[in-house]
Chains A and B, each alone.
Chain A
């Protein structure tokens, strides 16, 4: 659920999100009523969607201003209002400077340089560490950003409700229709790409050191099972430090055993609690670490088996291999279906002073060649470009064969699930379970 780049200031190049910790145990809120001046916390009043096992999509909660939270079965087309129209066609490109708001190290500086030269402008990048921080600062309006990179479908309601984005004029964005996977040209969170265009995609899988673990994990009936057989690697095994990603992993394992499709956005207390119990078994089995530093610890061999975001394995292979260690010691497996996939997007700030230049930047990043360089030279996360595929990258020697699964395919993207914002009550069930796991 969390964006892989959501990291605090703790690490070296990229930043580590403070690991460990937990969420709240919320009991039946009904007990609280009766006390004077006691408001039952939102969502703590029993009932709700809990218990509706097997339901494929959760109830649709409303966001601020009564706006719907987008769901694959409830795709949302955001209105274009009179007071907020896209820019007209054929306007001259402004001179800039272009103000970009982005995660740290999330666009290739060489690409930025190239854009500056091509459009005779300068690009100023400001960075944020979490989506919450980004939205708060955008809403405060201290700086009028032209382009915002890295927010996701979970943020869009907030962005629209607070009127922070301006609609796009596709006439300036020919690369969208030309290069991007059709499914992401018309995503459920923004039908018709009226306010956003996709940036990169990733999935949740298993990263491991094939020089230490000799089992062919990808060939296992249920690859996730490796975590429950990781006693030999005790102390060097990790799961993602994110409640939704981590707890959905045992859910996928169980579903794979049973041959059914899991609902990774469930609000069923039973399913969530049993996922927590299974995840907690890993404490005894391998003293599991809860981190998002696998992009560094796997190349260094400090961990040998990790629940990982696909892009982290590639950036690990690109940047973090110690001297004398070849990237082909890293392997990655991502589920072909019923697992987790996510994507983020590019958008234009409503108060942009250079909207044409901003469109040009979006189109520039959607260009096949630029997206490709940005991917393999820097970011490591797959752009949803029709022309990019793993076999070609392997053939050209850019990535080892053992990591070809870390390049997300369109069929894979379609057959997996996105982790979506839940109702307040649902979030609490996940938080509660996560809290118990993290407290050890």
Chain B
């Protein structure tokens, strides 16, 4: 009994912290979204749910329904995030697989190298890329020399040689993948590392080729890791606005995060900014629940075996 109370007390600071800095802040955003604005276009939050005004929410929904700029931004965000997720998985899976299975005594070093980018602030890394990708930058030269630039131009993903910063969507995608891929690799590495080798040995004993052993044992067992990784990269990507800002800045790279940034900081429409924030949060919440459900199911499944 006493032990239980000790733990409850120990959890108190964390709970208080979350309540103040997360729940109260979130409630403030909700109150602004369901509030109104004064004659100087400043938001007037309605704190009492009984007073809530749904006018701004309906207007945002109507904008989306009628194919307005919010829909354009939401669709573009989905497109960018989907492509970036697919690319991250295609690049990240082999890396995680190698680190978990074949790195041997270099495993620690490989892991360290994967974590190193975290030591540098995301923004700093993006600012570095601006210099690397400028027409005479090292990155541009390397991409040219190893032929990637030509591939991009052939595929119509880049309009001119060395034009990575000329407002290209492909540059935003590359930057998103680069920026968030460690979030995918690390959980995937853990999932792959945890797979019991004996399952694979059993598969091989029963006559499976390496490929079918991978497809029928390793891949299914790593699904929770894949999902965890994908959710972890998708969450920040959905809210990102500074990556398109820094490496593109053209309207065709505009994501929903940019809309919110614009509305809350520059525009006179802070209430609508709050509405979009809530919409995005609900979307991410759904994604999070899906993730929790799948991991819990996977957890019970592995516990029952």
Q: Which residues of A contact B (CB under 8 A)?
A: 2, 6, 8, 10-12, 16-27, 29, 32, 35, 37-42, 44, 61-64, 130, 132, 157-158, 234-236, 238, 241-243, 280, 283, 287-291, 300, 302, 421, 423-424, 427-428, 431, 434-440
Instruction: Indicate if the CB atoms of B265 and A18 lie closer than 8 Å.
Output: yes
Closest chain-B Cβ to A434's Cβ sits at a distance in Å of 7
The 3 A-B residue pairs whose C-beta atoms are closest, nearest first, are A21-B262, A235-B166, A440-B251
Contacts of A241 in B (CB 8 A): 266
Instruction: Indicate if the CB atoms of A437 and B251 lie closer than 8 Å.
Output: yes
Other A-B pairs, 7, CB within 8 Å; known A17-B266, A235-B167: A19-B245, A25-B68, A39-B53, A280-B251, A287-B166, A439-B70, A439-B251
B129 contacts the other chain (CB 8 A)? no
B239 contacts the other chain (CB 8 A)? no
Contacts of B254 in A (CB 8 A): 20-22, 438-440
Partner of B258, one of A21, A35, A44, A236: A21
Contacting residues of chain B (209-267) with chain A, CB-CB under 8 angstroms:
241-242, 244-246, 248-255, 257-263, 265-267
Interface centre among B54, B250, B262, B266, by most chain A C-beta atoms within 10 angstroms, is B266
B19 contacts the other chain (CB 8 A)? no
Instruction: Indicate if the CB atoms of A10 and B62 lie closer than 8 Å.
Output: no
Given A18-B245, A18-B265, A20-B244, CB of A438 within 8 Å of CB of B166: no
Contacts of A20 in B (CB 8 A): 241, 244-245, 248-249, 251, 253-255, 258, 261-262
Instruction: Indicate if the CB atoms of A23 and B267 lie closer than 8 Å.
Output: yes
Of B157-165, B178-186, B189-197, B278-286, the one contacting chain A is B157-165
Instruction: Indicate if the CB atoms of A283 and B267 lie closer than 8 Å.
Output: no
> Can you sample 12 A-B contacts with CB below 8 Å?
A18-B242, A18-B261, A20-B262, A21-B261, A23-B268, A23-B269, A24-B267, A27-B66, A158-B40, A235-B159, A438-B258, A440-B76
Contacts of B37 in A (CB 8 A): 41-42, 424
Partner of B58, one of A35, A63, A291, A437: A35
Instruction: Indicate if the CB atoms of B245 and A431 lie closer than 8 Å.
Output: no
Instruction: Indicate if the CB atoms of B53 and A62 lie closer than 8 Å.
Output: no
Contacts of A29 in B (CB 8 A): 55, 59
Given A42-B39, A44-B59, A428-B269, CB of A21 within 8 Å of CB of B249: no
Instruction: Indicate if the CB atoms of A21 and B266 lie closer than 8 Å.
Output: yes
B73 contacts the other chain (CB 8 A)? yes
In whole angstroms, how far apart are the Cα atoms of A41 and B36 in the complex? Answer: 6
B294 contacts the other chain (CB 8 A)? no
B97 contacts the other chain (CB 8 A)? no
Partner of A427, one of B60, B159, B160, B268: B268
Closest chain-B Cβ to A377's Cβ sits at a distance in Å of 27
Query: Which range holds the interface residue count of chain B?
Result: 35 or more
Interface centre among A2, A40, A41, A434, by most chain B C-beta atoms within 10 angstroms, is A41
Contacts of B63 in A (CB 8 A): 24-25, 27
Instruction: Indicate if the CB atoms of A41 and B166 lie closer than 8 Å.
Output: no
In whole angstroms, how far apart are the Cα atoms of A434 and B37 in the complex? Answer: 20
B18 contacts the other chain (CB 8 A)? no
B69 contacts the other chain (CB 8 A)? yes
Closest chain-B Cβ to A291's Cβ sits at a distance in Å of 5
Partner of B56, one of A8, A23, A41, A427: A41
Contacts of A10 in B (CB 8 A): 123, 242, 245-246
Instruction: Indicate if the CB atoms of A440 and B252 lie closer than 8 Å.
Output: yes
Partner of B272, one of A24, A42, A238, A421: A24
Partner of B267, one of A27, A302, A424, A434: A434
Q: Could you give, for residues 119-141 of chain B, a 1 whenever the CB lies within 8 Å of some chain A CB and a 0 otherwise?
A: 00001000100000010000000
Closest chain-B Cβ to A428's Cβ sits at a distance in Å of 7
Interface centre among B70, B244, B246, B250, by most chain A C-beta atoms within 10 angstroms, is B250
Contacts of B266 in A (CB 8 A): 2, 6, 17-18, 21, 241-243
Instruction: Indicate if the CB atoms of B267 and A243 lie closer than 8 Å.
Output: yes
Partner of B262, one of A11, A22, A157: A22
B205 contacts the other chain (CB 8 A)? no
Closest chain-B Cβ to A381's Cβ sits at a distance in Å of 20
Given A64-B38, A235-B167, CB of A22 within 8 Å of CB of B54: no
Instruction: Indicate if the CB atoms of A41 and B55 lie closer than 8 Å.
Output: yes
Interface centre among A32, A287, A421, by most chain B C-beta atoms within 10 angstroms, is A287
Instruction: Indicate if the CB atoms of A26 and B41 lie closer than 8 Å.
Output: no
Instruction: Indicate if the CB atoms of A22 and B38 lie closer than 8 Å.
Output: no
In whole angstroms, how far apart are the Cα atoms of A429 and B267 in the complex? Answer: 11
Instruction: Indicate if the CB atoms of A39 and B68 lie closer than 8 Å.
Output: no
Given A20-B244, A20-B254, CB of A421 within 8 Å of CB of B40: yes
Contacts of A39 in B (CB 8 A): 36, 53, 55
Partner of B269, one of A24, A130, A238, A300: A24
Partner of A25, one of B58, B69, B244, B252: B69
Instruction: Indicate if the CB atoms of A424 and B39 lie closer than 8 Å.
Output: yes
Contacts of A235 in B (CB 8 A): 159-160, 163, 165-167
Instruction: Indicate if the CB atoms of A424 and B268 lie closer than 8 Å.
Output: yes
Instruction: Indicate if the CB atoms of B267 and A431 lie closer than 8 Å.
Output: yes
Closest chain-A Cβ to B200's Cβ sits at a distance in Å of 47
Closest residue to B165 on the A side, CB-wise? A302
Instruction: Indicate if the CB atoms of A427 and B41 lie closer than 8 Å.
Output: yes
Contacts of B163 in A (CB 8 A): 235
Contacts of B257 in A (CB 8 A): 21
Given A19-B249, A235-B163, A440-B252, CB of A64 within 8 Å of CB of B40: yes
Closest chain-B Cβ to A326's Cβ sits at a distance in Å of 18
B52 contacts the other chain (CB 8 A)? yes
Instruction: Indicate if the CB atoms of A439 and B73 lie closer than 8 Å.
Output: yes
In whole angstroms, how far apart are the Cα atoms of A44 and B269 in the complex? Answer: 12
Instruction: Indicate if the CB atoms of B134 and A302 lie closer than 8 Å.
Output: yes
Partner of B250, one of A2, A62, A289: A289
B271 contacts the other chain (CB 8 A)? yes
Instruction: Indicate if the CB atoms of B251 and A290 lie closer than 8 Å.
Output: yes
Contacts of A6 in B (CB 8 A): 266
Closest chain-A Cβ to B190's Cβ sits at a distance in Å of 33
In whole angstroms, how far apart are the Cα atoms of A290 and B258 in the complex? Answer: 12
In whole angstroms, how far apart are the Cα atoms of A32 and B55 in the complex? Answer: 7
Closest residue to A236 on the B side, CB-wise? B166
Closest chain-A Cβ to B240's Cβ sits at a distance in Å of 11
In whole angstroms, how far apart are the Cα atoms of A332 and B230 in the complex? Answer: 48
Given A10-B242, A302-B134, A439-B73, CB of A22 within 8 Å of CB of B259: yes
In whole angstroms, how far apart are the Cα atoms of A6 and B262 in the complex? Answer: 13
Closest chain-B Cβ to A249's Cβ sits at a distance in Å of 15
